Structure 1
């Protein structure tokens, strides 16, 4: 089906991505880098970092293979998974070693049922493996003093992390599923706080897998969740997609502009932000006037809410993804020739996917101080 050259190309990308995520894992788990002379990533720590990279990349692989096998089943021509390496340690920036993985649909998807099956197969397959990784991680936590291997400074009774300058404090946000698994499976004496989960390879890999699962299941456009909504609600998928996207960008931008900012700053920031939101609706199918009205309304409501609730804050980290959705991918689903409704079993799986999105979505996934 695929040529040896194709297998070689995709295999090389997979190997490079696995290597990149292992390098990133060494930085997150142990604070060690191949570019550091003080705390170098030795071969020993490189191998230990694979406790993160192998399950994480394995989950991404299973996710993409779910899409691929569903495509093969429905006789839709598709590429092998493209893994995208993304280690940024060489510029001193934090990264997880990859920008994800995708398959390219080369054939026409002619029916609603096929779109549904191909879209839902990836998240469901990846989720099953992610649950296995998390179950292992929560039930095989190291002893509580493990953290002193990473942070020996914690042994100093006078050490106060809040007084340290130039140190990035990363805290992971909760989702419903991670919280439930922690409370039901983990030993409270061994369970790290959410600022330290990055040092626990299986928990961190599973957490990232849930994050990407929810991201793919957003009920917008041509994301996997968009395919699910397109299958379940043939008459209302456009409205659902547009509403979900608007709520998403509204939450993301809460607090970006505030009445408590300097007036001169607002004179520049407000028009730029309105322009950004306007651009995000580029592929919405709306008229120019409607796009501008929506952008103005969103910013006005955000500004007003923050006026009454000064501590109200969304998650600006979502804005870049909102831009990609609106400007690059689009928030509409392509039409199909075969509009037969889903089978009963497909409808059940569709509602399961919606439930998984609710369980896995993390409003504020990475909180950095």
Structure 2
């Protein structure tokens, strides 16, 4: 027997969120003010959902507009805390630099008071030919917040360059590595491979070699220590957060599935079962996306974080995002990792949409919807016109549930193909057109989403997620200078075009000519 009126999933999400916040607070206190501010950032991100599910458990339901305002307030609070955090970090860094400068001056004064022992061999306590001593002898003082590269390693690094690969003209210590300026003497992929092999032969896997574009738009080689940034990927708080997001995503997918099945609100466990087939369909689309991306990442030996699902009451889910931890070898790897989930979920969703429209055309539709809904997408409207024909002239049209599933899957894929930050589309633009273009498209995408809020408030929600979590571009690749081949560039353009026709609504003129719906289009 099923229990009635027991919102188990919202209660579980609410309790898990409180537990996660408590755990984060205890851990953050160990790191002082910086830790507490970082914890407050997390609170700002989670507070809208905590309020939403808390009120839901209490029997109070808030509308979507109120949720958007909560998300907007959360975004403002997050940005304000981030600014405060940066100020504190700047002050502490300044204090560290002053302390290092005082220590350096003290060491210099002591060295000047000592007698000249240049003819004697150095004692173990003396520092001879260190980077600081060399810089001082040249009239320069370089303060380092990082451990300097050992002199032996630096000499071996400089030895990898040659007149046939990269003619070295200047060496600049940088963090725990070095920047090598010079002239590129060959194709970027060939030069990078030869330099990387030479570096591995001399120093093993201790360092990574980056061939990137400098500020003056000239090729620059950067050598940095090889570090595994995925060490903290599987911490307990992150696993708890992932579990909370999975539960929340399951709840939104089940709720949407129940609505598709004709149940406006879930009251019993039987209602959850009614929405299960649709929720499993969404899970299949998301699972295929994740599988395609993971397989491509494994191909290039790229480490990624665990997936963080993004629940949505309108779509069932926004999909999931995963951070890239290990350095990407080149633009090709970034492109393939970005395009794989888009192609996988896009093709599956398109097939499901076409099959659903075909089943609707032969009389197997079970859901009556206004035909004007098909004006919301150029892709869906065009396919509906091809398969449903004159049925779209009526006010209502009967469709199969697969139409909704395929359409939502296409929308999820298209939203992730928007050219911003670490979305699939942002990664595609960065790999095809470079870092500068990707930065501009990110800004333009956020502006577009703000404007699109007039048509659909969901745009503001998605823009907030991008702004808070996904606005940054990917870190520099080992070889950023080698360009993509023509086939990949064409595929990238097709993917971006597919995103546009999926999200762009039909104008009133086009909708009228196609005979979709009895009213005007969603946009003039």
The question of a shared fold, defined as TM-score above 0.5 by the shorter chain, is answered with yes
Match of 2:253 in 1: 21
1:355 aligned to which of 477, 493, 497 = 497
Aligned-residue offset at 1:27? 2.3
Gaps of 5+ in 2: 1-233, 507-521
| Aligned residues of 1:52 and 1:205 also touching (Cα < 8 A) | yes
Aligned-residue offset at 1:251? 2.3
Match of 1:176 in 2: 378
1:103 aligned to which of 322, 337, 344 = 322
Q: Structure 1: how far apart are the matches of 2:280 and 2:460?
A: 30
| Aligned residues of 1:177 and 1:359 also touching (Cα < 8 A) | yes
Gaps of 5+ in 1: 36-40, 87-93, 152-160, 162-169, 254-312
Q: Which has the larger radius of gyration?
A: 2
After superposition, the C-alpha distances for 1:305-345 in whole angstroms (9 at most, x for unaligned) are xxxxxxxx544431232233234322545332311111233
2:408 aligned to which of 208, 232, 237 = 208
The answer to which of 203-212 and 137-146 deviates more is: 137-146
Equivalences, count: 270
Q: Structure 1: how far apart are the matches of 2:316 and 2:303?
A: 29
SS in 2 for 1:30: coil
Q: Structure 2: how far apart are the matches of 1:19 and 1:72?
A: 31
SS in 1 for 2:419: coil
Aligned-residue offset at 1:235? 6.5
TM-score (norm. length: structure 1): 0.60
Is 1:225 the equivalent of 2:225?
no
Match of 2:458 in 1: 317
Q: Looking at secondary structure, tell me which structure has more strand per residue.
A: 2
Q: 1:190 to 1:329 in 2, by over 3 A?
A: closer
Q: Structure 1: how far apart are the matches of 2:376 and 2:354?
A: 16
1:69 aligned to which of 295, 298, 314 = 295
2:387 aligned to which of 185, 189, 205 = 185
Q: Structure 1: how far apart are the matches of 2:278 and 2:393?
A: 17
After superposition, the C-alpha distances for 1:51-80 in whole angstroms (9 at most, x for unaligned) are 422322211111121211111111011245
After superposition, the C-alpha distances for 1:272-308 in whole angstroms (9 at most, x for unaligned) are xxxxxxxxxxxxxxxxxxxxxxxxxxxxxxxxxxxxx
Ranked by relative contact order (alpha carbons within 8 Å, sequence separation 6 or more), the top structure is: 1
After superposition, the C-alpha distances for 1:200-240 in whole angstroms (9 at most, x for unaligned) are 42111111112111111111222111111112112752464
Q: 1:71 to 1:30 in 2, by over 3 A?
A: same
| Aligned residues of 2:327 and 2:475 also touching (Cα < 8 A) | no
2:483 aligned to which of 341, 346, 365 = 341
SS in 2 for 1:140: helix
Q: Structure 1: how far apart are the matches of 2:490 and 2:365?
A: 45
Aligned-residue offset at 1:176? 1.6
- C-alpha RMSD of matched pairs (Å): 4.1
After superposition, the C-alpha distances for 1:164-202 in whole angstroms (9 at most, x for unaligned) are xxxxxx957522211111011225448986x878x8421
